[in-house]
Amino acid sequence: MSHHDSPGRYSRQLPLWGIEGQERLSRATVLVAGAGGLGSASSFYLAAAGVGCLRIADSDTVEVSNLNRQILHRQVGSLKVESARDTLQALNPELRVEAFPSAIDSDSVSGLVRGADAIVDALDNFETRYLLNSASLRSGVPLMHGAISGFDGQATTLVPGRTPCLRCLFPRSPPPVRPPALGATCGVIGSIQAGEVLKYLTGKGELLEGRLLLWDGLFGRMDEVTCDRSPVCPDCATADCRKPLL
């Protein structure tokens, strides 16, 4: 919080975690995997809250069909990561954005996760999510998962050594479909993901550990399912992935 406007900018949230908590946020780097609907909402609130660096990875360009939910973007045809960077830095000039206009794959994922304090899963397919899950387990960096379909959404926080991993919860990739996507649902789930990151970084509250939160926006209901580790999970059922975080 070195900039002169910082105390005023964050004054309404300082009672939640104090100057020390705000300093933790300012020193943190968060990887946002995907700059679509979930990435737009989560990164917007992380930037506004004063997270120091957002590392945003997405290889796509903005299409007209994105604009109903991807609130970071204005210009069709621009790279999503550049559009995201411009919008977020205009929102909070104290923010540093590292923009990676490349696909998240087995070659790039380790480098993207390296040095991050938390990972936001704002992806739209499970094959890439599994890569992120494995990188989370190898690095010990928690993964805040979110997904949406129409009015429905889900979220959980996956902490290596303490919780089930994504593969425990979803052993096989669901069939590839193009679900309906509503901006308001992205807002709900992306906000929950951002809240989980902020709680983790400041040490406040209780994370969505071992709990899959389910949002039914059509009926305005929220439920949760308790999740357990799978003893036969190929991703996390090994000794080196089960070490508790220090």
At residue 239, the pLDDT reads 37
At residue 238, the pLDDT reads 66
* Residues 151-164: tens digit of each pLDDT: 999 999 999 999 99
* Residues 123-137: tens digit of each pLDDT: 999 999 999 999 999
At which residue do the structure tokens 């991703």 appear? 235
- Burial zone of 101 (CB within 10 Å; 0-12 exposed, 13-18 middle, 19+ buried): middle
- CA 172, CA 233: separation in Å to the nearest integer? 11
Instruction: Give the chain's mean pLDDT.
Output: 93
At residue 139, the pLDDT reads 96
What the chain holds in terms of domains, given with CATH numbers, is 17-240 (3.40.50.720)
**Average confidence (pLDDT) over 210-215:** 98
**pLDDT exceeds cutoff 50 at 210:** yes
Sign of CA dihedral 92, 98, 103, 106: negative
At residue 170, the pLDDT reads 94
At residue 6, the pLDDT reads 64
Residues making up the chain, counted from first to last: 246
* Residues 36-50: tens digit of each pLDDT: 999 999 999 999 999
User: Is residue 167 a contact partner of residue 236, using CB atoms and an 8 Å limit?
Assistant: yes
At residue 242, the pLDDT reads 40
The pTM of this model reads: 0.93
**pLDDT exceeds cutoff 60 at 168:** yes
At residue 175, the pLDDT reads 82
* Residues 84-123: tens digit of each pLDDT: 999 999 999 999 999 999 999 999 999 999 999 999 999 9
- CA 246, CA 243: separation in Å to the nearest integer? 9
What's the chain look like in SS3? CCCCCHHHHCCCCHHHHHHHHHHHHHHCEEEEECCCHHHHHHHHHHHHHCCCEEEEECCCECCHHHCCCCCCCCCCCCEHHHHHHHHHHHHCCCCEEEEECCCCCCCCHHHHHCCCCEEEECCCCHHHHHHHHHHHHHHCCCEEEEEEEECEEEEEEECCCCCCCHHHHCCCCCCCCCCCECHHHHHHHHHHHHHHHHHHHHCCCCCCECEEEEEECCCCEEEEEECCCCCCCCCCCCHHHCCCCC
**Average confidence (pLDDT) over 42-63:** 98
**pLDDT exceeds cutoff 90 at 214:** yes
At residue 243, the pLDDT reads 42
- CA 42, CA 37: separation in Å to the nearest integer? 9
**Average confidence (pLDDT) over 181-200:** 98
